[in-house]
Structure 1
């Protein structure tokens, strides 16, 4: 199973024969689908199966392979404890709406459990308690606010003096009824069930253009398709959209380690309260237990040496655990919404009312993906959803999101102006070591240059094909990452993740010309 990075995740390495082959029938130009879903990750597959079961005729189109994006790189926590804490939700949206989110989260966890039971999915699912712990006076105050607000919205929580991890703390909270699982071993059987029910799945099928009308014309690398509705389940919608200024891209780092002492594997989900925070859990895969730890988050493209993030994370884990070996390490991307809640519903700026999106999950993608699936099912079947207004991508919350919106917009503007700064010239490549990369200037053009371990140079334009920000090198994942809106490209220039729609342009040294290749 391929993923959008150079490093292999635990889930990639252990999905095995559960990978579903592409199900590509000959195109049927006359057929109009009820719904086309773009992206076969957790959101796309869950939504596709749910709608197909409800009687919709669904096409699921994936540009690469199932779980290529964040689903293959998550740390897979299933929790009622959200990144945007309930005190913040109540302050920004009111107690009634915060209670609605809490209810949606509980329903999502029940839906996951129901899928596992109905389809007898072997994905290492286990119900666990989640623990949030404070380590100083300020965090204790925040913890007390979280306790009171969480009870208000109806989520089960209690004070706890025990923690599953050997990290010193002063006070803690326990959230019963959370869970963990193997995400790709959960998704692949759902995809198989979707196909069994008559749903059509196509991988290596990139959507290149959508003609808006009552009946959508969807252009892909496998031909044209027609649909009454389209859902972008691509983590962030492609093209240029208002949501790109309301969602900030972040990288998060994870390691899966084997411990010397079997008794040290934690029996729950644990989180500290720093920013960025550290988080821990155990997952047993094929008889082998792993401690999965994550953290060291930063904005995409804003860290000069991403390898150091893994080093810091590993050092932190070794401070508290007797590590036998680091079996896997990987990073992943998420999009942080400016006002703290995801955007699920009609795509802003669309000329028709039949294009939908689900994005801005923050660090709670496993849960919010199922919230999105259930919300879309209500919207399409009942013509409305209790959560439709709350998660509306067109919502405007000046108090809740204004400061973050201004900050992210200023960051993007600053990055665009930074293009005026002259980069090193081509002669600086003389000391470029194999495996290294650099932005350089040659014949008036900024180039993204990577030197392969074999000594071969790969040169592309340094301008992201989204809104022309300069990309930045991600040394850990060997990718060019856009610091403006999170588009990512391989060292050859192939587009890995949107919102860009095209690969980085090639550069021909002999003609000194940039050539678009997609």
Structure 2
């Protein structure tokens, strides 16, 4: 990198203390087990606890430290040009229900932050989707109309707080931005105070279901017995409803730089141009704010992540005058074929719920997911629950996206050719470089560390066998099929994989 990039960590994580909840070390019994301690899992656990259920949260690593800890944390009902898509594809009622679910989620965070007395930097701001191209103006005029019809306070404008001109934008009032970890860590403390239990460093590796409920097996061998289970693991670690082909993983880079308060863009922004760019800010010390810019969307495991990061940093510097960055990190999510998350009960298995496919909008959708799951579990689902049902299937609308996704997946199975890489033999790798190469007749993921040592792993993802790729910015192995991520030594960093990449015998 030619630009000073600062700390390679999420600001949300760097600015909060690490949690230290215990692991599951024995048989635990509860009404509901929530697998995944991100915003969806913690919000579902909170709502179920408030309803009088005994709840256990089981997190593979640290709560609010995975996808949620690396979000941009825009809390808005404006999700790109979603309302034109929903109105034209599924009807005006679907668009209104989606807007209602998101708007209630924004207000619910405001209410909980006030009730818990937590300073999570909750700020009311307008939200914008903008274009710099005249060719994109008409579509945004249509989106403004669709968003208004859906019940949002939306308008078309050519005026924004950005330091550059736009051709047009959809502005939605009364939206928000916040510090997600401060909010969720306070919610976790309140959850425990109400009798909920949280277990960290407890990766679920198996789920057995029977007439008497469910049994979760943890990597350590410990178990959790429950009557109901919520799978809120970003990408579901079980696939009893065949959701894998209907979810597409994507990863985006984030850069953050300190700017004067006078340079604050006064809102949250998104454009689908330039490979997508998302802009917001957060309060720092007096007179300063942290500008947070997200973009450079890519499939996990795609090559040249460093190039995408440099392009994002350059774009930010040119538009906002930043000369260096305080933090950089990456965010990951999965999109559904119809752009609505899968939230609710799996119809073929009583007492199993799922929350996934937030499409980059996990803050409001995560809160909404908690409300939906608790409502369905208690027999009082919110009006929009059916819209989010994981059992829905729109054949004509989803089939092309599913076929394209499956075609991409097929190209990455273990029999595939060696991906494009900076080296074809271990000797050619420079320190900090990794590549998939064919050794001893098999594909291996090989990384040379900064001390010159080689680390050789099986290149097949332990989830379903796709060939991993090397992320040269974060120095991780990533699965392009379903988004699993591994360290250079093979440890699971992110599911759906639950087992590490096996080490090659030559690696010792």
TM-score in terms of structure 1 length: 0.92
| SS of residue paired to 2:275 | coil
Gaps of 5+ in 1: 1-5, 512-518
Match of 1:297 in 2: 297
Match of 2:13 in 1: 12
Contact 1:460 1:507 in 2 (8 A): yes
Deviation at 1:400, TM superposition (A): 2.5
1:294 & 1:61 partners in 2: Cα distance?
29
Match of 1:244 in 2: 244
Answering whether residue 234 of structure 2 is matched by residue 235 of structure 1, we say yes
Answering whether residue 351 of structure 2 is matched by residue 354 of structure 1, we say yes
Contact 1:40 1:60 in 2 (8 A): yes
Answering whether residue 182 of structure 2 is matched by residue 201 of structure 1, we say no
1:429 & 1:24 partners in 2: Cα distance?
38
1:23 & 1:425 partners in 2: Cα distance?
42
- Superposed CA deviations along residues 4-60 of structure 1, whole A, max 9, x for unmatched, are xx93111111013xx432145863x4x631110011111111111121111010000
Larger mean Cα displacement after TM superposition, 267-276 or 463-472: 267-276
Match of 2:371 in 1: 374
Answering whether residue 158 of structure 2 is matched by residue 161 of structure 1, we say yes
- Aligned CA distance change for structure 1 residues 361 and 426 (closer, same or farther; 3 Å): closer
Question: Any residues of structure 2 matched to 1:322-361 within 5 Å, and which?
Answer: 322-347=321-346, 352-361=349-358
| SS of residue paired to 1:326 | coil
Number of residues of Structure 1 aligned to a counterpart in Structure 2:
498
2:422 & 2:148 partners in 1: Cα distance?
59
Match of 1:516 in 2: none
Match of 2:215 in 1: 217
Larger mean Cα displacement after TM superposition, 394-403 or 48-57: 394-403
Larger mean Cα displacement after TM superposition, 187-196 or 208-217: 208-217
Question: Any residues of structure 2 matched to 1:293-442 within 5 Å, and which?
Answer: 293-302=293-302, 304-347=303-346, 352-416=349-413, 419-420=416-417, 428-442=425-439
2:238 & 2:439 partners in 1: Cα distance?
29
- Aligned CA distance change for structure 1 residues 195 and 423 (closer, same or farther; 3 Å): same
Computed over aligned residues only, the root mean square deviation of the Cα atoms, in angstroms, reads 2.1
Deviation at 1:76, TM superposition (A): 0.5
Match of 2:141 in 1: 144
User: Which 4+ runs in 1 deviate beyond 3 A?
Assistant: 23-27, 285-288, 420-427
Answering whether residue 275 of structure 2 is matched by residue 276 of structure 1, we say yes
Contact 1:83 1:364 in 2 (8 A): no
- Aligned CA distance change for structure 1 residues 142 and 8 (closer, same or farther; 3 Å): same
- Aligned CA distance change for structure 1 residues 397 and 84 (closer, same or farther; 3 Å): farther
Match of 1:474 in 2: 471
Larger mean Cα displacement after TM superposition, 136-145 or 326-335: 136-145
2:266 & 2:293 partners in 1: Cα distance?
14
Answering whether residue 33 of structure 2 is matched by residue 36 of structure 1, we say yes
Contact 2:19 2:62 in 1 (8 A): no
Deviation at 1:328, TM superposition (A): 0.4
Contact 2:81 2:140 in 1 (8 A): no
Deviation at 1:227, TM superposition (A): 0.4
- Superposed CA deviations along residues 313-353 of structure 1, whole A, max 9, x for unmatched, are 111111111214200011111101111100001247x5x22
| SS of residue paired to 2:376 | helix
- Superposed CA deviations along residues 62-93 of structure 1, whole A, max 9, x for unmatched, are 11111221111101001121135101011222
2:361 & 2:507 partners in 1: Cα distance?
48
